[in-house]
């Protein structure tokens, strides 16, 4: 789970460096005051290099990252954007904010987008697909990318949980035309609040950079207050404080992921022989961020019972089952746009509803108490015997 566990002297030093060099907290301009300190710009460059892409744009949140990426596509009312029914509300909210129709599809054993159901839901109005790597496990990107290509629709990855993971050696977030990341306080790397978009295409990057900054083109020939623009936009600019923390967190990302994988595997080793539990499917070639350990149980009743026992034992579950209402579109009757498209949401995604109800997700931390794997086993084994 969290980069917040490893926040320390390095993040503090990056922040101090801003104030030592003049205290400019805005990402643009004030060149004479800032003594070469450009934290957001440096963070974007370092992130792009880490991801192996030419361009990255820092924004205020993972939700903003999705909204800005969709702005690049110039969606029109009635255009449809498909995402998966197991994701955080933010993915659907960004589609709705973009004036497009949110469409959700079923998940498969990866707990991510089911490529076959995705293809069934594509219509002539479909403009884009947002695949999500929920809880740090890659979606079936090979198949999803092939569906998108076949139907000529744009693939965007919501890699809010995928930062530091990969598939076939390609970083999550870089398979699609654009990939978005969240650095909120629960994510593998954090800037408190914050997000990033990565791009392969320079014109996509330029469009996003302008749109997230009221349309500013940052034309070097004129001062900012006389800047050129070719369209309007909004303000989703990251501050230098966030950029500073991001620089330090990015340097720790690989180690955070490595330790999470180790801890996740330790818990799994201690329980995998228990009868009736089945690991989540993982596409071949995946490097997971191991934000959580997710497994299926024989029934929703068993999943609830495991959850109750874990909580009573001072352990915890994460998202499944207790926070499912924030993460399953079948419960989002507060989104009229989603209801207008799908009708009764409780009936709209039966395969996902049944699967999620059977799943239990355990949090994985970077600094795990070594007693946790044995305690998890002792707590859940009596229910599964
Ligand atoms: C799948 C997914 N997308 C987007 C977001 C939004 O990120 P943020 O909290 O940075 O706005 C989240 C946050 O948890 C998420 O889980």
Does 173 sit in the ligand 1 pocket, CB within 6 Å?
A: no
Q: What is the mean pLDDT of residues 166-174?
A: 98
Does 158 sit in the ligand 1 pocket, CB within 6 Å?
A: yes
What is the distance between the alpha carbons of residues 80 and 93, in angstroms, rounded to a whole number?
Answer: 13
**pLDDT reported for residue 322:** 79
Does 62 sit in the ligand 1 pocket, CB within 6 Å?
A: yes
The sign one gets for the Cα dihedral 155, 159, 164, 168 is: negative
**pLDDT reported for residue 385:** 85
Torsion of CA 188, 194, 199, 203, to 10 degrees: 180
Candidates 62, 111, 172: which one to mutate for ligand 1, based on the most atoms within 8 Å of Cβ?
A: 62
Give me ligand 1 centre to Cα 196, in Å.
Answer: 11
Among 33, 97, 141, 385, residue whose Cα is nearest residue 234: 97
The tens digit of pLDDT for each residue in 32-50 reads 999 999 999 999 999 999 9
Task: Tell me the two tokens of residue 198.
Answer: 């990565």
353 three-state secondary structure = helix
User: Which residue's CA is minimally distant from atom 16 of ligand 1?
Assistant: 88
Instruction: Work out the mean pLDDT of the chain and round it to a whole number.
Output: 97
What is the distance between the alpha carbons of residues 299 and 384, in angstroms, rounded to a whole number?
Answer: 11
Among 13, 65, 62, residue whose Cα is nearest residue 39: 13
pLDDT at residue 10 greater than cutoff 60: yes
Q: How many secondary structure helices (H) and strands (E) does the chain include?
A: 14, 13
The tens digit of pLDDT for each residue in 315-371 reads 988 888 878 899 999 999 999 999 999 999 999 999 999 999 999 999 999 999 999
Give pTM, 2 decimals: 0.97
Q: Do residues 115 and 92 make contact, with C-beta atoms less than 8 angstroms apart?
A: no
Which domains does the chain possess? 3-250 (3.40.640.10), 253-384 (3.90.1150.10)
Does 63 sit in the ligand 1 pocket, CB within 6 Å?
A: yes
What size, in residues, is the chain?
385
| Angle (nearest 5°) at CA 194 between 193 and 199 | 165
What is the edge-to-edge ordering of all strands in the sheet holding 170-171? 170-171, 166-167, 286-287
* Cβ neighbours of residue 31 closer than 8 Å, sequence gap 6 or more: none
Instruction: State the CB neighbour count (10 A cutoff) for residue 143.
Output: 17
Among 72, 74, 54, residue whose Cα is nearest residue 198: 54
Closest atom, ligand 1, to C-alpha of 186: 14
What is the distance between the alpha carbons of residues 338 and 63, in angstroms, rounded to a whole number?
Answer: 18
pLDDT at residue 1 greater than cutoff 80: no
**pLDDT reported for residue 325:** 92
The tens digit of pLDDT for each residue in 370-384 reads 999 999 999 999 999
Does 160 sit in the ligand 1 pocket, CB within 6 Å?
A: yes
pLDDT at residue 228 greater than cutoff 70: yes
Q: Do residues 282 and 112 make contact, with C-beta atoms less than 8 angstroms apart?
A: no
pLDDT at residue 135 greater than cutoff 90: yes
Give me ligand 1 centre to Cα 187, in Å.
Answer: 9
Q: What is the mean pLDDT of residues 59-83?
A: 97
What is the distance between the alpha carbons of residues 185 and 178, in angstroms, rounded to a whole number?
Answer: 23
Band (3; pLDDT cuts 50, 70, 90): confident
Give me ligand 1 centre to Cα 54, in Å.
Answer: 24
Does 95 sit in the ligand 1 pocket, CB within 6 Å?
A: no
Q: Do residues 97 and 124 make contact, with C-beta atoms less than 8 angstroms apart?
A: no
Q: Do residues 116 and 84 make contact, with C-beta atoms less than 8 angstroms apart?
A: no
Question: Chain centroid to CA 259: how far?
Answer: 19
User: Which residue's CA is minimally distant from atom 10 of ligand 1?
Assistant: 62
Q: Do residues 37 and 18 make contact, with C-beta atoms less than 8 angstroms apart?
A: yes
Among 276, 266, 209, residue whose Cα is nearest residue 236: 209
Q: Give me the percent of the chain exceeding a pLDDT of 90.
A: 96
Give me ligand 1 centre to Cα 80, in Å.
Answer: 21
**pLDDT reported for residue 104:** 98
**pLDDT reported for residue 61:** 98
Among 218, 182, 184, residue whose Cα is nearest residue 65: 182
């Amino acid at each position: 789970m969290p980069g917040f566990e490893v926040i320390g002297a390095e993040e503090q030093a990056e922040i101090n460096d801003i104030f030592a060099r003049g205290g400019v907290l805005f990402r643009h301009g004030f060149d004479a005051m800032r003594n070469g300190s450009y934290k957001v710009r440096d963070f974007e460059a370092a992130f792009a290099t880490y991801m192996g892409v030419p361009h990255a744009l820092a924004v205020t949140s993972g939700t903003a990252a999705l909204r800005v990426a969709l702005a690049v596509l110039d969606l029109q009312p009635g255009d449809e954007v498909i995402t998966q029914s197991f994701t955080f509300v933010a993915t659907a909210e960004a589609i709705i904010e973009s004036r497009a129709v949110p469409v959700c599809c079923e998940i498969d054993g990866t707990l991510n987008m089911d490529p076959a159901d995705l293809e069934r839901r594509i219509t002539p109005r479909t403009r884009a697909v947002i695949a999500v790597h929920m809880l740090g496990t890659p979606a079936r990107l090979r198949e999803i990318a092939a569906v998108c290509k076949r139907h000529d629709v744009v693939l965007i990855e919501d890699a809010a949980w995928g930062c530091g993971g990969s598939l076939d050696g390609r970083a999550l977030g870089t398979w699609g035309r654009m990939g978005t990341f969240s650095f909120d306080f629960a994510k593998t790397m954090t800037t408190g609040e914050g997000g990033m978009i990565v791009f392969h295409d320079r014109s996509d990057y330029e469009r996003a950079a302008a749109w997230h900054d009221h349309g500013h083109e940052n034309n070097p020939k004129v001062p900012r207050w006389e800047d050129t623009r070719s369209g309007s936009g909004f303000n989703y600019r990251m501050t230098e404080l966030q950029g500073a923390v991001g620089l330090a967190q990015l340097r720790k990302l690989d180690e955070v992921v490595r330790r999470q994988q180790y801890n996740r595997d330790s818990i799994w080793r201690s329980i995998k022989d228990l009868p009736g539990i089945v690991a989540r499917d993982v596409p071949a070639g995946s490097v997971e961020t191991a934000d959580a350990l997710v497994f299926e149980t024989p029934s929703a009743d068993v999943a609830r019972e495991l959850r109750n026992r874990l909580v009573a034992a001072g352990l915890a579950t994460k998202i499944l089952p207790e926070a499912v209402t924030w993460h399953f579109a079948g419960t989002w009757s507060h989104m009229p746009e989603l209801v207008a498209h799908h009708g009764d949401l409780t009936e709209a995604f039966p395969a996902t509803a049944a699967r999620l109800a059977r799943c239990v997700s355990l949090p994985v931390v970077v600094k795990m108490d070594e007693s946790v794997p044995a305690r998890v086993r002792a707590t859940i084994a009596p229910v599964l015997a």
